[in-house]
Amino acid sequence: MLTTMPGYTIQAQNFRVLDHLEWSPGGVCLLCGPNGSGKSTVLDALWFLRTLFERGHESALAAVGGQYFRKLDAPEDEPVEFTLTVGDIVWKLRFPMSIAGLRGSFGEELYRGGELVLRAGMFDEGWYLGTERHARDEVRCCARVLWDRGESEWMQPLANLLSGIRVYKSYWLNQVQRQEQTSARDSYLERSGRNLWSVLANWKASPRHYHDQFEWVMSAAREAFPELIATVEFDRGLPYIYAPGATEAEQGLPPSRAAEGLLTGLLHLTAVAGAKPGSILAFDEMENQLHPHAIRSLLSAMRRSAGERDLTIVLTTHSPVVLNSFRDEPEQVYVLDRTCKTVPTPMTELHTEDWLAQAKLGTLYERLAFAAPRIDGTEP
């Protein structure tokens, strides 16, 4: 049975180009803004929090690049702050950063129902659980230490949310194109996408265990790329892509011969199919390498899956095709606008629905009606 995730909000201050981020995404939603407005930075904030909880702050900083972590024009004494609110749980983090990196221990607070449960001050080598003082763990953040004790069931929504974050920014297509032996261990798609074939092979081998995820991916891929793919088969651990009508074994194409758009589509679909219910998935510029038909088809598959499994799917885009597919739900489109102190702003707060209904969103985007760079109006 589908259990619905409690509402959540992510906040960040002074993180890279963002003054103040405050966002509660849900369903399939779109982030748009001019180049450099912070779309990818929002995704990095999500990935940072996940990695911090899963693998500690050093890995988290490395995952998103510890240098230039703080907004360049932020006052030096202001830390980079993150707050994640899940239901009645609030996790606050403060990072004293210089341009070069972390200046000392970071601050951390965890609240349950408004009550402070744990606290670690910035530059303090210890932390408090209630009134008990503890030494910091070398790797894990304090919230993780508490969760690992197994005595704080109430933290489950926070832990679930964090472990369910997946951010796909740029796939390593050159690795996906290599025909390498699949591994029996992979059951979900890595951030780089390089284990695509292993994941698909395992899903295909155990359809009941993996809820027919392989067939879901193939079915959606056939819709998106009708001339290119009927199925993928594995021969002695090596993947072969079969186009519709291919009947002979030698008609199977190795990944190196497949269209890059098809591989990208398979990666997107595999990422979605492998996500646990309630997860947050993010795709940076999902439209890259894709034909408009494929974009629309993949978005439709994402929407179906998000609805069935309570997924949050965050997409960043510059594509009018992607934007147009949100014509009937402009409230799912969020704009990163440098003139707003807090971002992102829901499109429906910037423009009335009546006004938006007069043109396609992609057309309005192209016309610079929203999410546009600041352009001096004088003709060159």
Q: Which residues bind other proteins (CB under 8 A)?
A: 349-352, 354-355, 357-359, 363, 367-368, 372, 374-380
- Minimum distance of other proteins from residue 287's CB (angstroms): 20
Dump the DSSP string for 62-86: HHH-STT-B-TTS-TTPPEEEEEEE
CB nearer to other proteins: give 247 or 358. 358
- Residue 272's nearest CA partner among 196, 175, 349 is 196
CB nearer to other proteins: give 132 or 379. 379
CB nearer to other proteins: give 205 or 357. 357
CB nearer to other proteins: give 77 or 376. 376
Question: How buried is residue 25: exposed, middle or buried, by Cβ count under 10 Å (0-12/13-18/19+)?
Answer: buried
Give the separation between CA 318 and CA 205, rounded to whole angstroms.
38
Position 236, amino acid = R
CB nearer to other proteins: give 123 or 355. 355
- Minimum distance of other proteins from residue 99's CB (angstroms): 33
Reduce the DSSP state of residue 42 to 3 states and report it: helix
- Minimum distance of other proteins from residue 378's CB (angstroms): 7
φ, ψ of residue 320 in degrees (nearest 5): -60, -30
- Minimum distance of other proteins from residue 369's CB (angstroms): 8
Asked if 195 and 183 touch (Cβ cutoff 8 Å), the reply is yes
- Give me 128's structure tokens: 């408090």
- Minimum distance of other proteins from residue 72's CB (angstroms): 26
CB nearer to other proteins: give 237 or 320. 320
How many CA within 13 A on the CB side of residue 248?
2
Give the separation between CA 191 and CA 195, rounded to whole angstroms.
9
- Minimum distance of other proteins from residue 10's CB (angstroms): 25
- Give me 209's structure tokens: 């265990």
φ, ψ of residue 331 in degrees (nearest 5): -70, -15
- Minimum distance of other proteins from residue 373's CB (angstroms): 8
- Minimum distance of other proteins from residue 375's CB (angstroms): 4
- Minimum distance of other proteins from residue 315's CB (angstroms): 24
Helix (H) or strand (E) holding 29: strand 28-32
Reduce the DSSP state of residue 313 to 3 states and report it: strand
Asked if 371 and 33 touch (Cβ cutoff 8 Å), the reply is yes
Give the separation between CA 92 and CA 272, rounded to whole angstroms.
29
CB nearer to other proteins: give 86 or 350. 350
Give the separation between CA 322 and CA 84, rounded to whole angstroms.
28
- Minimum distance of other proteins from residue 42's CB (angstroms): 23
3-state secondary structure 264-300: HHHHHHHHHHCCCCCCEEEECCCCCCCCHHHHHHHHH
Position 248, amino acid = E
Q: Is 223 left (phi over 0), alpha (psi -120 to 50) or beta?
A: alpha
CB nearer to other proteins: give 245 or 377. 377
CB nearer to other proteins: give 158 or 350. 350
CB nearer to other proteins: give 246 or 359. 359
